[in-house]
Structure 1
Amino acid sequence: MKKTLFMTLTSLSLFACNGSEIIEKQHATGNYYDPQKPVVISEMLPSWGQIDQNYLIRGNFPKDTANIRVYFGTKKAVVLGCDGRELYGMVPKLYPGLNSLSVVVGNDSIVTDFQFKYYQKQSLKNIVGKENEGDEYIEGTFDEARIKNPTGLGTVTGQDGDNIIMVEGEWESRISLISLDDNKMIKIGDVGWCGGPAVTSTRDKFYVIGREGNRSVYSFSKADGWVATPVADLTITNDMLSGGSVVGGLTFAEDDRYLYVMTGDGYMGCIDLVEKSFERLLEKDDWDGVNVGTNWISYLVYSKYYHCFFATHEGGNGIFKITQNAEGKWIAKKFAGFNNGDNIVLGHRLNDAVLRSPSGIAVNKDGEIFFGSKSGSCILKIKGDMVSLVAGVPNAWWTGVSNEPLESGFNQPLAIVTDYEDNFYIADRDKRLVRKLTIE
């Protein structure tokens, strides 16, 4: 999301709500700082708000904003100006709840008793597709376009922000570019049933892999116009990996040389794209005593926040954390879910949570884990040890779509990915939609 600030040379109006109070601050050109007095903070307005809202701090400070830093909790705020007695700027994205105000002037830090209560903005909107309409795939503008079976998503760099790569890897197969630059969807490839996409760290290239059988790997590069290019001298056979399906089990980790792949029946391996070699990392009996099933849908993501993988296995009804120990052995441990039930249950990730066929999974920059519940018709979040609801009406797939996240229906949400601003894109398969979830 682009943030645009409109300023004049003579005035700047700040509006902030504090109960019924409305504050309007006219920009002062003078310098009211008194160097004979200590730097102090006497007032903060407002006491609550949201991202990009204006804040106003009163006190006694040097006018030069280059030497002033404002923090709400641990998050640095934008400082727009100071006249020596009033400092103003914009509230950053924060954690919900109370955040302490502190101001750093030069090398001196001023910790205050002021608390800013932050409320998250949440919104949900359809990007492409129309609810329950998708008997035929149709390219075109977002109003015209129709999709059928979205199973995989990735975000790549566009002109002004991100664009979306969509894989339809069931029943019919195709790969599409959903261009937020042009508000259009176009088909860019069809390599047969495939899993992925896995986007490189440069975010201008992605890979897919054949879903089953002797699997070929294909790359698509922005520089080459997103044309499918087979990776030469590389085929991943069933003997090397397994005969299970690859749907969402494809991702990079710390190095774009290594592409990690996972099947729905519990096999995971690493493809060396330089040496054109393959190493099997996990087999079907390596999942912490859990029978992950036979060829169920699964998704794999790597978190640079935690430096590990997370994997959903529909058959196991849970989420695994995958790490490598000091001896180089890969270990999958139960992380969330694995409790049976016909309804979504929130609470402690292992002791309480019923996840109902977890599907696509993403980790944001703050280490919060978001994932779809395919059978539970909702989007869930893990923060710390707790599972909470962020979007959808649990166990009610028939609910119609809405812009209100907690009032909108989902019907088998599969892939979920983040963009560069930590917005989420969701492949809502049976609603036949790609949707954007913003949580700020």
Structure 2
Amino acid sequence: MKMRMKNHACSFLWGMLALISFCFVGCKDDDEGGKRTPFDPSKPVVISDFTPKEGGWGARLLLYGDNFGDDPAKVKVTIGGKEAKVITVTNENLYCFVPRSADAGNIEVTILDEHGEELAYGEADEIFQYKKKYLASTLVGETYENNTKFDIMDGPWGNCGGLEKMEWMAFDPNNPDMLYVCGGGKAHRVVNFADQTLGTIKFTGEASGNTNVLSFTKDGQLMVVRDISQDGKNGIFFYSPESNFQTQVKAIHARGCRAAAAHPINGEIYTTRYDKGWIGRYEPETGDYKMDEIQMPYASIECYIAIHPTGQYMYIMVRNKHIIYRADYDFDEKTFTTPYLVCGRYEDKNFKDGVGGNVRLNQPQQGCFVKNEEYAGQKDEYDFYFVDKMNHCVRTLTPTGRVKIYAGRPNGDGATGFNDGDLRKEARFFYPASIVWDEKRECLLIGDSDNHRIRKIAMED
């Protein structure tokens, strides 16, 4: 046990005052049915044990020992050199929260005087095993006036205002430092990780206006997907990477299209149609386009597509019906087979984890696949992370079909808000609409639409 005592010229007087204080408090506590023991300057501060032996940021840590005193305001606890928040203290027990980045793990208790000067000090012999964990933070975006206002402007992170809508996000497959953010009917933004800037991208002519998705073909063309309500009108527009996505190279008719996604292996593009409930198949090499390649069980549905990195299957998020379907890929026929329900119940918007029809969702929108090391060697090595927009959270769908909450809804209350921190205890979102996996930086990015920020979920530094 390591300890030190600080000598004062008036230590005797201090001790007498402490004794008087102890007697006064003791009498008061006796009247209230309890007894408190103040710090005794003539004795060492002892940390004899603590529990748990390991944990991460925000965990509660209980210290056992002697001579901690009874005043939390005069007790300082550090773990790994980082100051911990003291919750309660008695002479023999002390509760505190584990601080962030407490990697070194050494536990120290310091008793302070009324001026914040050290009176005594004790250190545990055993090291606390700090475990890093995933945390929610803010990557880019700013608001003001209590999160009610924001500016739209280009500039470096920290001075670039907020973002709008963020209905879909996609990384340039040829440049992992460039993230394209669909602003719906508002401004489309470009997040440049190399320069740490936020910019704007604009489209002219038929491609301008309310946009549902910005996505990419297998060879890196940018697809701008618009919801056009008439037949014979262009709804998907293709822009060349060589022109920095300013030159349109082709466009196709696509009435009611809400999404378009490229097969990662064979390159054909799958689209959705709202009014008919169709999923179409477009072949870029030949220009062949069959809008009704796959028929969903319902019409008037807002479908969004996420195709597995291996191309073996895709998930279809039916946002307005609160369900997720799956369609498996036939590599011989080069198309997807008939979709089947994976989770949720038709038009039953609510919140519930579970499997299959027991799950309840409320506007699932974009999702992404993330490799899980625990599945190494299995047929499917990926979990699916998706935003449950009206439930204000991020959820996961495992290969076995189980849905569970991943981030947001602290205490299960489902309230909106903005807060970083522990994924389940602190993090809050406000209509998260999009999500992507940043493979280069190994983190999830969430388009938190009504907080006007891109949020980040990553292992703490």
TM-score by length of 1: 0.62
Residues 158/402 of structure 1: CA separation in 2 closer, same or farther (3 Å cut): farther
CA RMSD, Structure 1 to Structure 2 (Å): 3.3
The residue aligned with 1:196 is 213
Counterpart selection for 1:392 from 384, 387, 408: 408
The residue aligned with 1:322 is 327
Counterpart selection for 1:274 from 252, 265, 285: 285
Counterpart selection for 2:134 from 122, 136, 144: 122
Residues 138/388 of structure 1: CA separation in 2 closer, same or farther (3 Å cut): same
The residue aligned with 1:333 is 340
Q: Is the 8 A contact 1:163 1:177 kept in 2?
A: yes
1:218 matched to 2:224? The reply is no
Q: Is the 8 A contact 1:245 1:295 kept in 2?
A: no
SS in 2 for 1:408: coil
1:164 matched to 2:184? The reply is no
The residue aligned with 1:69 is none
- CA distance in 2 between partners of 1:430 and 1:264 (Å): 25
The residue aligned with 1:72 is none
- CA distance in 2 between partners of 1:390 and 1:416 (Å): 13
The residue aligned with 2:262 is 252
Deviations 1:292-321 (A, max 9, x none): x6353x321110246111110022211110
- The correspondence of residues 5-404 of structure 1 with structure 2, limited to 5 A, is 121-130=133-142, 132-133=147-148, 136-145=151-160, 146-156=162-172, 162-170=177-185, 172=186, 174-190=187-203, 191-192=207-208, 193-201=210-218, 205-213=221-229, 214-224=233-243, 226-232=244-250, 234-238=251-255, 244-246=256-258, 249-255=259-265, 257-265=267-275, 266-282=277-293, 286-287=295-296, 289=297, 291=298, 294=300, 296=302, 298-305=303-310, 307-324=312-329, 330-338=337-345, 343-348=350-355, 350-366=356-372, 367-383=382-398, 384-393=400-409, 396-404=414-422
Q: Is the 8 A contact 1:282 1:330 kept in 2?
A: no
- CA distance in 2 between partners of 1:230 and 1:120 (Å): 46
- Aligned AA for 2:360? V
Deviation at 1:399, TM superposition (A): 2.7
Q: Is the 8 A contact 1:339 1:353 kept in 2?
A: no
- CA distance in 1 between partners of 2:245 and 2:401 (Å): 43
Deviation at 1:154, TM superposition (A): 0.6
Aligned residues: 310
Q: Is the 8 A contact 1:251 1:300 kept in 2?
A: yes
Deviation at 1:387, TM superposition (A): 1.3
- CA distance in 2 between partners of 1:423 and 1:221 (Å): 28
Deviations 1:143-193 (A, max 9, x none): 22221221110112687x5331111113x2x33211111111111223322
Residues 118/310 of structure 1: CA separation in 2 closer, same or farther (3 Å cut): farther
- Aligned AA for 2:429? F
SS in 1 for 2:406: strand
SS in 1 for 2:152: coil
1:435 matched to 2:452? The reply is no
Task: Give the stretch that moved more between structures: 364-373 or 121-130.
Answer: 121-130
Residue segments in structure 1 that go unaligned for 5+ positions in a row = 1-19, 21-46, 51-116, 239-243
Residues 121/201 of structure 1: CA separation in 2 closer, same or farther (3 Å cut): farther
Residue segments in structure 2 that go unaligned for 5+ positions in a row = 1-48, 57-128, 373-381
- CA distance in 1 between partners of 2:449 and 2:385 (Å): 17
Q: Is the 8 A contact 1:343 1:395 kept in 2?
A: no
Deviation at 1:278, TM superposition (A): 0.8
- Aligned AA for 2:182? V
Residues 139/386 of structure 1: CA separation in 2 closer, same or farther (3 Å cut): same
- Aligned AA for 2:192? S
- CA distance in 1 between partners of 2:236 and 2:158 (Å): 33
Q: Is the 8 A contact 1:302 1:309 kept in 2?
A: yes
Decide which structure has the larger Cα Rg and report it. 2
- CA distance in 2 between partners of 1:392 and 1:228 (Å): 37
1:425 matched to 2:445? The reply is yes
- Aligned AA for 1:175? H
Q: Is the 8 A contact 1:217 1:230 kept in 2?
A: no
Task: Give the stretch that moved more between structures: 135-144 or 356-365.
Answer: 135-144
Structure having the larger proportion of residues in strand: 1
- CA distance in 2 between partners of 1:245 and 1:156 (Å): 22
Q: Is the 8 A contact 1:195 1:250 kept in 2?
A: no
- Aligned AA for 2:179? I
Deviation at 1:370, TM superposition (A): 0.7
Deviation at 1:337, TM superposition (A): 1.4
Q: Percent identity?
A: 16
TM-score by length of 2: 0.60
Q: Is the 8 A contact 1:218 1:228 kept in 2?
A: no
